Amino acid sequence: MGGLGVDVALPYRWIMRNNITIRGQWMYPRHAVPRFIALVRSGLLPLDYVDITEFPLVAINEAIAHAATHAGAFRLTVLRP
């Protein structure tokens, strides 16, 4: 996951001579998010095991400190506007 914020120079002649195909995609295919939401809505993917701690935007420093000390799988620190 992730990407580059700059263009990447590619060896065009080598690519053409070797019949190379270049394909890109940002993280997930377009259909993945609606399908994921459908799984949650149908109850097939329960989110009960996710530990979410919410902070208002004015408590950003506390949120950062909390995130630093409570990091881990399925443990989220969320800033709420």
Q: Give the span between the Cα atoms of 28 and 50, in whole angstroms.
A: 21
> How do residues 11-67 score in pLDDT, each as one tens digit?
999 999 999 999 887 788 889 999 999 999 999 999 888 999 999 999 999 999 999
pTM score of the predicted model:
0.51
Burial of 50 by CB count in 10 Å (0-12 exposed, 13-18 middle, 19+ buried)? exposed
> Closest Cα partner for 24 from 41, 48, 7, 38?
7
d(CA 40, CA 29): 18
pLDDT, average across residues 5-11: 90
